[in-house]
Amino acid sequence: MSFIITEINDQIAWVTINRPEALNAMNPIVISELQDAIENCINDSSVGVIILTGSGEKSFIAGADIKTMQSMGPDEALSFGKVGQQLTVTIENSPKPIIAAVNGFALGGGCEISLACHIRVASETAKFGQPEVLLGILPGWGGTQRLPRLVGTGIANEIITTGRMIDAQEAKEIGLANHVVPLEDLKQKCEEVANQILKNGPNAIAKSLECIREGVGLTTKDGLDLEVKNFSSLFNSDETKEGLSAFVEKRVPNFRK
């Protein structure tokens, strides 16, 4: 039995973690299957946007599987942390936008997976948090690195050191969630955002995501150098020629033939 369901329609891939009895908690098998599913969607030319969610109405991903971690020593924890980090890096580095459809609990590793996504759309019932310190551990899949960059160091310090849960509205206020909608509207809102993205040039999107991602660790000067390099490189592409011609000719560009 697979724990991951992938459905592709009209260039949108829905990737669903299907372990509702465990609130979609992540163990090594689920991590491996999700890694494969994300990579397959990235490499699938029929996919333009990926939407990641959890099955059921209670949980996006409740976190890493606590029972799995309970028996770990330092060596096993190092390996588990590394495979979780590799998954989040794959998501973050995707040239195709990945939207997190957060339909419930996004805690611990689940929050970290949502942080790696490019956009987060939350239901009104969503709850975010990094409760690892309550268990005597710390976020190990990128929470200490991505959360401060997204919401600022002071807020990240509080979220991580208190371990408290944040509701959807607070998540939106601090910049953790892009949109908050009723649960019954979550699918529609995610696909609305995805379809806005699909109107645009895929190479331009991929290069934009690269500039945003890589620019975080660069000086402004080096970031600008990266930006202008990627900007100019697109002018060799049919995509850019099509976009500019369509604008001049007052028609809709056809980027995804």
140 three-state secondary structure: coil
Say if strands 59-61 and 98-102 run parallel, antiparallel, or are unpaired.
unpaired
Active-site residue, 214 included: no
Exposure string for 178-195, b = 16+ CB within 10 A, e = fewer: bbbbeeeebbebbbebbe
97 close to 61: Cβ distance less than 8 angstroms: no
Residue 239 annotated as catalytic: no
Catalytic option among 39, 57, 92, 132: 132
Active-site entry in 33, 76, 112, 173 = 112
Beta bridge partners of 107: 129
* 3-class DSSP state of 251: coil
**Buried residues in 115-135 as b, exposed as e (16+ CB within 10 A):** bbbbbbbbbebbbbbbbbeee
Amino acid at 27: N
Q: Where does residue 60 rank: exposed (0-12), middle (13-18), buried (19+ CB within 10 A)?
A: buried
Catalytic residues: 112, 132
